[in-house]
Amino acid sequence: MDIPKYLQIENELKKEIISGKFKYGDKFYSEAQLKEKFNVSSITVIRSVKDLVKAGYLVRHQGKGTFISRSRKDKLVRLSDNEVFSDKQEEDRVKVVKLQEDNQAKMLKKLGLPKYESYYYIERLRLIDDTPFMVHRSFIPAKFINKNLAKDPNNYHSIYETLQKDKQLYLFDEPFTETDTIVKADSEISQQLKIAKDYPVVRQVKKTILSSTGEVVELVVGYKRCDYFSLSFSSTDYPGV
Protein backbone atom coordinates (compact mmCIF):
# COMPACT_ATOMS: atom_id res chain seq x y z
CA MET A 1 0.00 0.00 0.00
CA ASP A 2 1.33 3.43 -0.95
CA ILE A 3 2.31 5.70 1.92
CA PRO A 4 0.43 9.04 1.80
CA LYS A 5 2.58 11.99 0.73
CA TYR A 6 2.02 13.91 3.99
CA LEU A 7 3.27 10.89 5.95
CA GLN A 8 6.34 10.51 3.72
CA ILE A 9 7.18 14.17 4.38
CA GLU A 10 6.50 13.78 8.09
CA ASN A 11 8.84 10.77 8.34
CA GLU A 12 11.60 12.52 6.40
CA LEU A 13 11.36 15.65 8.57
CA LYS A 14 11.36 13.52 11.71
CA LYS A 15 14.60 11.87 10.56
CA GLU A 16 16.18 15.30 10.03
CA ILE A 17 15.18 16.37 13.54
CA ILE A 18 16.40 13.17 15.21
CA SER A 19 19.67 13.18 13.24
CA GLY A 20 20.75 16.41 14.92
CA LYS A 21 20.51 18.64 11.86
CA PHE A 22 18.69 21.13 14.08
CA LYS A 23 19.43 22.10 17.65
CA TYR A 24 16.72 22.42 20.29
CA GLY A 25 15.07 25.81 19.91
CA ASP A 26 16.19 26.30 16.29
CA LYS A 27 13.69 27.80 13.88
CA PHE A 28 12.25 25.15 11.56
CA TYR A 29 11.41 25.38 7.87
CA SER A 30 8.69 27.84 6.93
CA GLU A 31 5.60 26.67 5.07
CA ALA A 32 6.93 28.21 1.85
CA GLN A 33 10.28 26.44 2.25
CA LEU A 34 8.59 23.10 2.80
CA LYS A 35 6.32 23.55 -0.23
CA GLU A 36 9.37 24.22 -2.37
CA LYS A 37 11.46 21.47 -0.75
CA PHE A 38 8.87 18.73 -1.40
CA ASN A 39 6.96 20.30 -4.29
CA VAL A 40 3.59 19.86 -2.60
CA SER A 41 0.58 21.95 -1.62
CA SER A 42 0.11 23.98 1.55
CA ILE A 43 -2.49 21.49 2.78
CA THR A 44 0.02 18.61 2.64
CA VAL A 45 2.72 20.64 4.37
CA ILE A 46 0.39 21.88 7.10
CA ARG A 47 -0.79 18.36 7.90
CA SER A 48 2.78 17.04 8.16
CA VAL A 49 3.88 19.86 10.45
CA LYS A 50 0.71 19.62 12.53
CA ASP A 51 1.42 15.93 13.22
CA LEU A 52 5.00 16.70 14.26
CA VAL A 53 3.75 19.42 16.62
CA LYS A 54 1.24 17.01 18.11
CA ALA A 55 3.96 14.39 18.57
CA GLY A 56 6.15 16.91 20.40
CA TYR A 57 8.95 17.33 17.86
CA LEU A 58 7.99 20.90 16.97
CA VAL A 59 6.34 23.86 18.66
CA ARG A 60 4.56 26.79 17.04
CA HIS A 61 4.72 30.36 18.29
CA GLN A 62 2.07 32.67 16.89
CA GLY A 63 3.61 35.32 14.67
CA LYS A 64 7.14 33.92 15.05
CA GLY A 65 7.10 30.57 13.27
CA THR A 66 7.79 26.90 14.02
CA PHE A 67 10.69 25.76 16.19
CA ILE A 68 12.40 22.55 17.27
CA SER A 69 10.89 21.44 20.55
CA ARG A 70 13.09 21.39 23.62
CA SER A 71 11.34 18.22 24.80
CA ARG A 72 13.54 15.14 24.49
CA LYS A 73 12.00 13.00 21.77
CA ASP A 74 13.40 9.58 20.82
CA LYS A 75 16.48 9.97 23.01
CA LEU A 76 17.60 6.74 24.67
CA VAL A 77 17.76 7.24 28.43
CA ARG A 78 17.83 5.20 31.61
CA LEU A 79 14.66 5.59 33.63
CA SER A 80 14.12 4.72 37.26
CA ASP A 81 10.59 4.75 38.66
CA ASN A 82 11.41 5.14 42.34
CA GLU A 83 9.14 4.35 45.26
CA VAL A 84 9.95 6.47 48.28
CA PHE A 85 9.78 4.48 51.51
CA SER A 86 11.50 5.20 54.81
CA ASP A 87 13.99 2.69 56.21
CA LYS A 88 11.63 1.98 59.09
CA GLN A 89 8.72 1.03 56.88
CA GLU A 90 7.84 -2.58 56.16
CA GLU A 91 7.66 -4.12 52.68
CA ASP A 92 4.62 -3.19 50.66
CA ARG A 93 1.73 -5.58 50.16
CA VAL A 94 -1.08 -5.84 47.64
CA LYS A 95 -4.80 -6.19 48.24
CA VAL A 96 -7.04 -7.26 45.36
CA VAL A 97 -10.12 -5.07 45.68
CA LYS A 98 -12.07 -6.25 42.64
CA LEU A 99 -11.80 -8.87 39.89
CA GLN A 100 -14.62 -9.17 37.37
CA GLU A 101 -15.27 -9.91 33.72
CA ASP A 102 -16.72 -7.05 31.66
CA ASN A 103 -17.32 -5.97 28.07
CA GLN A 104 -17.92 -2.22 27.94
CA ALA A 105 -17.61 -0.98 24.36
CA LYS A 106 -15.28 1.92 25.17
CA MET A 107 -12.72 -0.31 26.87
CA LEU A 108 -13.01 -3.05 24.25
CA LYS A 109 -12.02 -0.46 21.66
CA LYS A 110 -8.98 0.63 23.71
CA LEU A 111 -7.91 -2.99 24.00
CA GLY A 112 -8.42 -3.58 20.27
CA LEU A 113 -11.08 -6.21 20.91
CA PRO A 114 -14.27 -6.89 18.90
CA LYS A 115 -17.59 -6.17 20.60
CA TYR A 116 -18.39 -9.86 21.18
CA GLU A 117 -15.27 -10.44 23.32
CA SER A 118 -14.65 -9.48 26.94
CA TYR A 119 -11.90 -8.43 29.32
CA TYR A 120 -11.17 -8.70 33.02
CA TYR A 121 -11.05 -5.68 35.29
CA ILE A 122 -8.65 -6.16 38.20
CA GLU A 123 -8.39 -3.43 40.81
CA ARG A 124 -5.57 -3.68 43.34
CA LEU A 125 -4.49 -1.51 46.24
CA ARG A 126 -0.85 -1.32 47.30
CA LEU A 127 -0.15 -0.58 50.95
CA ILE A 128 2.80 -0.17 53.25
CA ASP A 129 2.36 -0.23 57.03
CA ASP A 130 -1.39 -0.38 56.29
CA THR A 131 -1.14 2.95 54.45
CA PRO A 132 -2.50 2.76 50.88
CA PHE A 133 -0.23 4.57 48.44
CA MET A 134 -1.29 3.30 45.00
CA VAL A 135 -4.37 2.07 43.16
CA HIS A 136 -3.89 -0.19 40.10
CA ARG A 137 -6.77 -0.64 37.66
CA SER A 138 -5.87 -3.27 35.09
CA PHE A 139 -7.84 -4.21 31.98
CA ILE A 140 -6.79 -7.55 30.45
CA PRO A 141 -8.37 -9.40 27.49
CA ALA A 142 -10.23 -12.48 28.73
CA LYS A 143 -8.06 -14.82 26.63
CA PHE A 144 -5.13 -14.11 28.95
CA ILE A 145 -7.03 -14.83 32.16
CA ASN A 146 -7.52 -18.33 33.55
CA LYS A 147 -11.18 -18.52 34.57
CA ASN A 148 -10.46 -21.07 37.29
CA LEU A 149 -7.72 -18.92 38.81
CA ALA A 150 -9.97 -15.86 38.55
CA LYS A 151 -12.43 -17.48 40.97
CA ASP A 152 -9.99 -16.51 43.73
CA PRO A 153 -8.88 -12.85 43.39
CA ASN A 154 -5.85 -13.58 45.57
CA ASN A 155 -4.33 -15.43 42.61
CA TYR A 156 -3.84 -12.03 40.98
CA HIS A 157 -1.92 -10.18 43.68
CA SER A 158 0.85 -10.06 41.08
CA ILE A 159 -0.62 -10.07 37.58
CA TYR A 160 2.79 -10.40 35.94
CA GLU A 161 3.77 -13.43 38.05
CA THR A 162 0.44 -15.16 37.43
CA LEU A 163 0.58 -14.58 33.66
CA GLN A 164 4.14 -15.84 33.59
CA LYS A 165 3.30 -19.07 35.40
CA ASP A 166 -0.08 -19.69 33.78
CA LYS A 167 0.40 -18.33 30.22
CA GLN A 168 4.23 -18.30 29.93
CA LEU A 169 4.08 -14.55 29.27
CA TYR A 170 6.99 -12.52 30.63
CA LEU A 171 5.54 -9.03 30.40
CA PHE A 172 8.64 -7.28 31.75
CA ASP A 173 10.29 -8.01 28.39
CA GLU A 174 7.34 -6.98 26.20
CA PRO A 175 6.94 -3.56 24.48
CA PHE A 176 5.03 -0.95 26.44
CA THR A 177 4.21 2.73 26.56
CA GLU A 178 3.60 4.70 29.74
CA THR A 179 2.51 8.26 30.46
CA ASP A 180 2.78 9.79 33.95
CA THR A 181 0.77 12.91 34.78
CA ILE A 182 0.26 14.89 37.97
CA VAL A 183 -3.48 15.23 38.66
CA LYS A 184 -5.74 16.05 41.57
CA ALA A 185 -7.32 13.09 43.34
CA ASP A 186 -11.06 12.83 42.80
CA SER A 187 -13.44 11.69 45.53
CA GLU A 188 -13.04 7.98 44.79
CA ILE A 189 -9.24 8.02 44.60
CA SER A 190 -8.90 10.22 47.69
CA GLN A 191 -11.10 7.79 49.63
CA GLN A 192 -9.10 4.75 48.49
CA LEU A 193 -5.73 6.35 49.25
CA LYS A 194 -7.01 8.01 52.44
CA ILE A 195 -5.94 11.46 51.34
CA ALA A 196 -7.72 14.79 51.01
CA LYS A 197 -9.73 15.43 47.85
CA ASP A 198 -7.63 17.32 45.26
CA TYR A 199 -4.41 16.04 46.86
CA PRO A 200 -1.83 15.64 44.04
CA VAL A 201 -1.33 12.11 42.75
CA VAL A 202 0.60 10.61 39.84
CA ARG A 203 -1.68 9.12 37.20
CA GLN A 204 0.16 6.35 35.36
CA VAL A 205 -1.31 4.96 32.14
CA LYS A 206 0.60 1.97 30.78
CA LYS A 207 -0.18 -0.24 27.80
CA THR A 208 1.75 -3.47 27.22
CA ILE A 209 1.58 -5.42 23.96
CA LEU A 210 2.93 -8.76 22.80
CA SER A 211 5.88 -8.35 20.45
CA SER A 212 4.91 -11.53 18.60
CA THR A 213 1.36 -10.47 17.70
CA GLY A 214 0.92 -6.79 18.59
CA GLU A 215 -2.05 -7.67 20.80
CA VAL A 216 -2.71 -5.54 23.88
CA VAL A 217 -2.18 -7.80 26.89
CA GLU A 218 -2.74 -5.19 29.61
CA LEU A 219 -3.90 -1.61 29.93
CA VAL A 220 -3.40 -0.31 33.45
CA VAL A 221 -4.39 3.02 34.95
CA GLY A 222 -2.74 3.68 38.29
CA TYR A 223 -2.87 6.48 40.83
CA LYS A 224 0.07 6.92 43.21
CA ARG A 225 0.52 9.38 46.04
CA CYS A 226 3.14 11.96 45.05
CA ASP A 227 5.01 11.60 48.34
CA TYR A 228 5.72 7.96 47.49
CA PHE A 229 6.99 8.60 43.99
CA SER A 230 9.94 10.05 42.08
CA LEU A 231 11.45 9.61 38.62
CA SER A 232 15.16 9.61 37.74
CA PHE A 233 16.57 9.97 34.22
CA SER A 234 20.10 9.75 32.86
CA SER A 235 21.55 9.47 29.40
CA THR A 236 22.91 6.01 28.59
CA ASP A 237 26.45 7.40 28.28
CA TYR A 238 26.49 9.03 31.73
CA PRO A 239 29.34 7.38 33.70
CA GLY A 240 28.78 5.39 36.86
CA VAL A 241 25.03 4.85 36.40
Q: Is 240 a domain residue?
A: no
Q: Is 241 a domain residue?
A: no
CATH number, domain with residue 21: 1.10.10.10
Q: Is 204 a domain residue?
A: yes
Q: Is 23 a domain residue?
A: yes
| Shared domain check, 87 and 62 | no
Listing DSSP states for the chain in one string gives -PPPHHHHHHHHHHHHHHHTSS-TT-B---HHHHHHHHT--HHHHHHHHHHHHHTTSEEEETTTEEEE-SS--S--EEEEEEE---TTS---EEEEEEEEEE--HHHHHHTT--TT--EEEEEEEEEETTEEEEEEEEEEEGGGS-HHHHTSGGGGSSHHHHHHHHH---GGGS-EEEEEEEEE--HHHHHHHT--TT-EEEEEEEEEE-TTT--EEEEEEEEEEGGGEEEEEEETT-TT-
Question: Which pTM was predicted?
Answer: 0.71
Among residues 14, 36, 68, the one where a domain terminates is 68
- Give the per-residue pLDDT at 91: 73
Q: Is 181 a domain residue?
A: yes
Range of the domain at 213: 79-234
pLDDT in tens, 166-220: 999 999 889 999 999 999 999 999 999 999 999 999 999 999 999 999 999 999 9
Among residues 68, 92, 119, the one where a domain terminates is 68
Q: Is 61 a domain residue?
A: yes
| Shared domain check, 94 and 56 | no
pLDDT in tens, 41-66: 999 999 999 989 888 889 988 888 99
